[in-house]
Structure 1
Amino acid sequence: MTTGGEMTPVELYEKLKQAWSLETSSAWQPDNPARGQCSVTAIAVHDILGGDIMKTRTPGGTHFYNRVNGVKWDLTISQFDRPIPFEDLPSDRAEAMADTSPAQYELLRKRLGL
């Protein structure tokens, strides 16, 4: 944790790896735990760290990530087996939520202790 008690993105990533499951994304796989977690994770990261929710187009569809204090944080990048483009298109909670479900979001929040 930072000195102010706030979680850093790296600490948050470690917690997310333990929290992701088939219940937080139907695309989850044991050998690729970040798979399909981008939207629900982007919303949770926004809850914890603030900043902006961003998106980019990939061959598999829209991918969500965050920008916090001007720094891009993609805590689900490990789901990809090759580099993806980052268009840094503005998005928001509603658009990211349309790619997940309230139940998945609430479960991830609970597992993160929110």
Structure 2
Amino acid sequence: MEEIEEKILELKKALYKSWSIDTSSKWTRQNPAKGQCGVTALIVNEMLEGDIAKTKIQGNWHFYNIINGKRYDFTESQFETPIEYNNTLSNRSEVYMNTNEKQYTILKQKVLKNVTYHF
């Protein structure tokens, strides 16, 4: 497995373990990815670089990452139907409007505790 793919898999596992009500007010045990898209896209962007993209879903922006030309949406499981991605490029400033510093800091600290790979 390519090194970037190993990092992505490691980060994905860490994110799933790290999401909580403290990282999104929409989080539930039944749907831990709910409301996590913005804060997750920021963490992934910081750790693996690449681009942040967005797609409109039910009138709201949904954020995810593009790394080496491939789309990675770690929070797609929050939706019951498949997403029709249009990959509109976004930026960190826009995504920060979808979260807050407290949620971002908490998720980053939890993720860093849950990864074994050096980012």
* TM-score, normalised relative to structure 2: 0.88
Which consecutive residues of structure 2, in runs of 5 or more, have no partner in the other structure? 114-119
Paired residue for 2:29?
30
Report how far residue 46 of structure 1 moved: 0.2
CA distance in 2, matches of 1:19, 1:3: 22
Which consecutive residues of structure 1, in runs of 5 or more, have no partner in the other structure? none
CA distance in 2, matches of 1:3, 1:20: 24
Structure scoring higher RCO (CA < 8 A, sep ≥ 6) equals 2
CA distance in 2, matches of 1:101, 1:7: 29
The yes-or-no answer on 1:48 pairing with 2:24 is no
CA distance in 1, matches of 2:95, 2:77: 19
Q: How many correspondences in the alignment?
A: 113
Paired residue for 1:91?
90
Structure with the higher helix share, 1 or 2: 2
Report how far residue 77 of structure 1 moved: 0.6
Report how far residue 60 of structure 1 moved: 5.1
Residues 1-114 of structure 1 mapped to structure 2, 5 A cutoff: 8-59=7-58, 61-113=60-112
Q: Cα deviations across residues 17-63 of structure 1 (Å, max 9, x unaligned)?
A: 11000000000010110000000000000011100000000015110
* TM-score, normalised relative to structure 1: 0.92
What SS does the aligned partner of 2:35 have? Answer: coil
